[in-house]
Structure 1
Amino acid sequence: MRVEYLLFGVGALVFAPIGLIYGWLTDWAEPVGLVSLLLLSGLAGLTGLFFFVTSRRIDARPEDDPLGEIADGAGDYGVFSPSSWWPLVLGIAAGLIFLGAAVGWWISGIGGVLGIIGLVGLLFEFSRGQHAH
């Protein structure tokens, strides 16, 4: 995970000075951009710190080996549903929620209800039908 924590660590070190330069060039009159860039630096630093701590706790992955082969990463990556419509429902719900912020808040309510239905459907998808346990 060395590449990941270095990538985000460098991002944190880059965005902080850029934010300060942005604030200086705008004479500190536009605080939203300054705060956004500083928060982005903090977020990148937090993510880099997480990856750094995690890399110390787990064994090296196949992609961390510079002499590794593609076949070293072969194997199972998890259990995924073969053909699920619930991610589409969740995507539509997210679209309605964001549309509601622009058009009218009542649309966000419809998106929230649809999102709850989609989330419940996705979580309990393997509890019924041919995939039931």
Structure 2
Amino acid sequence: MKAETWIFVTTTIFFVLVTPAYWLITGDWTGTSALTMAALLVAMVSLYLGFHAARMDPRPEDRKDGEIADGAGELGFFPPYSWWPMWCGLALGVCVLGVVMGWWLFIIGCFLGVLALQGWIFEYYRGEHAH
């Protein structure tokens, strides 16, 4: 994570240098406040990554003698295709239409959204994973 930390530290330095220059050149409050908030947010991420990089064992990409084969192995579980995001999106569409058309349609959309979200959350609790 040390490489990522340095990327965010460099971005923080960039925003800290650009923000006063932007203020002096334009005098715009909106852009200056946006750049200030961006600098603070990037600084927060770089502090988080810096603290965790100091406490972690070095990853293969963080070591100078690391090889590509050192990073081999299982990377995690990647689910296959799922229809549940489409149903969640359609339920959200019904909710948005309910804001325009009437409260009754919004309630129906919320009910359908709860059902679709439960289906998406519990879609792997079937078959061999059932409890």
- Paired with 2:81 and 2:128, the residues of 1 have a C-alpha distance of 12
- Paired with 1:20 and 1:129, the residues of 2 have a C-alpha distance of 59
- Paired with 1:125 and 1:51, the residues of 2 have a C-alpha distance of 33
> Post-superposition shift, 1:88?
4.9
Structure 2 length-normalised TM: 0.73
Deviation string, structure 1 residues 96-120 (Cα, Å, up to 9, x no partner): 6xxx6xxx8937x69x847655543
Give the secondary structure class of the aligned counterpart of 1:19. Answer: helix
* 1:34 partner letter: T
- 1:8 equivalent in alignment to 2:8: yes
- Paired with 1:123 and 1:3, the residues of 2 have a C-alpha distance of 34
Q: Which has the larger radius of gyration?
A: 2
Structure 2 partner of 1:126: 124
Q: CA distance change for structure 1 residues 69 and 45 in 2, over 3 Å: closer, same or farther?
A: same
- The number of residues matched between the two structures is 121
Note the residue ranges of structure 1 that are not aligned, 5 or more in a row.
none
> Post-superposition shift, 1:62?
1.1
* 2:124 partner letter: F
* 1:42 partner letter: L
Bigger mean CA deviation after superposition, 75-84 or 116-125: 116-125
Note the residue ranges of structure 2 that are not aligned, 5 or more in a row.
101-105
Deviation string, structure 1 residues 15-66 (Cα, Å, up to 9, x no partner): 1221211111112xx2221111111111111111111100112101111122
Structure 1 partner of 2:74: 76
- Paired with 1:41 and 1:127, the residues of 2 have a C-alpha distance of 43
* Identical counterparts, % of pairs: 36
The equivalences for 1:48-59 within 5 A come to 48-59=46-57
2:99 to 96, 103, 106: 106
